Amino acid sequence: MKVWIDMTNSPHVPFFRPLIALLEQRGHEVRVSARDFAQTLELLEVAGIAHEIVGPPHGGGGRAGKIRAMGSRLRALRSWARPQNFALALSHASHELPLAARSLDVRSSYAYDYEFARSQHTLGSRAATRVIVPDAIPQKRLDRLGAKATKVRRYPGLKEEYYLSGFTPDSAVLDVLDLDPARVLAVVRTPPEVSLYHRHGNPLFADVLERLGNDPSVQAVVLPRTPAQRDAIRDAPLPSLVVPEHAIDAQSLIALADLVVSAGGTMNREAVALGTPVWTTFAGTLGAIDEGLIEDGRLAELTDADALVLAKKEAAGAREQRDPELMLDLLLSAL
């Protein structure tokens, strides 16, 4: 069977990496289309995943730019995929794939774990053959997106617990970044400023950078989403901030860190899955996954930068191990 996977954002690479290996072990052929955005291409190269850049890069923060880019990319995806005779198309929050696949009469699975990205998930949910979500998301929220119960398939826990199952961190990332083991290690992820669902601005995040960046007992590795974010943070007079030049082994860094502060979602849940204390500064509407993690005490909601606990973490306990075969079987249920 020939399988098409589309990757348009950096979290898609770790999600699909073990699934591609499983597909190939089962004898399937996998082709990957990709978009140039948020280190996606660099991470694909690091992971050794063959891919082709299809369509324009991200359309920016404005709705009009996103619509123009989506139209252009849909045309490019259809043109690229049409002669390849795919049997199945898979994506995680890349809503353009189910739209393109449907126009080509290719069955598709569309996965996501944040239900309030309404514009993209309404398009993707309605076009897809199958919608794959965590069981924490109430069906009534999915109904509003066109993901009726008959097309929805659910998995327990976090998607990060599937692709991080059996993961062992590589301490080489500490040497790559020349980090001092005597200092508290924080990992910081910038806000998704170009996302339509996160338009409120995030002054708290600036306070976090000020606090961490001026504390000599801390080294805070900041992982920006865009080159503009990288340049702005690197130019700030905050000596305790470390901004990598290139994509790094973020999962190992998170596992080895003493704390994580993230304005997004995937990195928060990776920290939860790896047993690292984590605070969220997300300024949008919390999804069901984060609501549950906060209620369970596995994720802390930060409202004041001074509330951060800057200390060496205690040894992490046993981690939840999820079988990536289950995730793959759910995606394949679109056939």
Same domain, 37 and 145: yes
User: Has residue 313 been placed in a domain?
Assistant: no
User: Has residue 99 been placed in a domain?
Assistant: yes
- Tell which wins on pLDDT, 124 or 247: 124
Model pLDDT, residue 231: 87
Q: Is-contact 89 106, C-beta < 8 A?
A: yes
146's torsion region: left (phi>0), alpha (psi -120 to 50) or beta?
A: left
Q: Which amino acid would we find at residue 166?
A: G
Q: Which amino acid would we find at residue 203?
A: P
User: Dihedral sign, CA of 311, 315, 318, 320?
Assistant: positive
Span of 78-92, 236-250, 304-318 with lowest mean pLDDT? 304-318
Same domain, 144 and 216: no
Same domain, 42 and 144: yes
How many domains are there within the chain?
A: 2
User: Has residue 180 been placed in a domain?
Assistant: yes
CA distances from 159 to 184, 280, 327 (A): 28, 18, 8
Same domain, 185 and 279: yes
- Mean local confidence (pLDDT), 46-59: 87
Task: Give a three-class secondary structure readout of 1-14.
Answer: CEEEEEECCCCHHH
* CATH number of residue 133's parent domain: 3.40.50.2000
Q: Is the pLDDT of residue 59 over 70?
A: no
CA–CA gap between residue 75 and residue 87 (Å, rounded): 19
Model pLDDT, residue 195: 45
User: Has residue 286 been placed in a domain?
Assistant: yes
Same domain, 179 and 217: yes
Same domain, 203 and 122: no
CA–CA gap between residue 200 and residue 281 (Å, rounded): 12
Q: Tell me the pTM.
A: 0.91
- Mean local confidence (pLDDT), 199-218: 85
| Backbone dihedral angles phi then psi of residue 223, each to the nearest 5 degrees | -110, 95
Same domain, 96 and 135: yes
Per residue in 211-233, pLDDT (tens digit) is: 999 999 999 999 988 888 888 88
Span of 146-150, 263-267, 325-329 with lowest mean pLDDT? 263-267
CA distances from 143 to 30, 49, 80, 136, 169 (A): 31, 35, 32, 14, 39
Number of H-type helices and E-type strands within the chain:
14, 13
Please give the residue range of the domain that contains residue 61.
Answer: 2-164+323-332
CA–CA gap between residue 114 and residue 117 (Å, rounded): 7
Span of 53-67, 87-101, 258-272 with lowest mean pLDDT? 53-67
Q: How would you label 231-251 residue by residue, b for 16+ Cβ within 10 Å and e otherwise? A: eebeeeebebbbbbeebbbbb
- Tell which wins on pLDDT, 320 or 198: 320
Model pLDDT, residue 246: 87
- Mean local confidence (pLDDT), 302-321: 89
Same domain, 154 and 9: yes
Same domain, 50 and 118: yes
| Backbone dihedral angles phi then psi of residue 35, each to the nearest 5 degrees | -120, 145
User: Has residue 116 been placed in a domain?
Assistant: yes
Q: Which has the closest alpha carbon to 316: 189, 211, 164, 135?
A: 164
Span of 123-127, 244-248, 272-276, 310-314 with lowest mean pLDDT? 244-248
Q: Which has the closest alpha carbon to 3: 125, 70, 89, 78?
A: 89
- Mean local confidence (pLDDT), 125-150: 98
| Backbone dihedral angles phi then psi of residue 228, each to the nearest 5 degrees | -65, -40
- Tell which wins on pLDDT, 68 or 209: 209
Same domain, 190 and 263: yes
- Tell which wins on pLDDT, 284 or 288: 288
User: Has residue 290 been placed in a domain?
Assistant: yes
- Mean local confidence (pLDDT), 93-116: 97
User: Has residue 93 been placed in a domain?
Assistant: yes
- Mean local confidence (pLDDT), 260-272: 92
Model pLDDT, residue 205: 86
User: Has residue 101 been placed in a domain?
Assistant: yes
Model pLDDT, residue 199: 42
Same domain, 216 and 278: yes
Q: Mean pLDDT of all residues in the chain? A: 92
Same domain, 19 and 153: yes
Model pLDDT, residue 204: 87
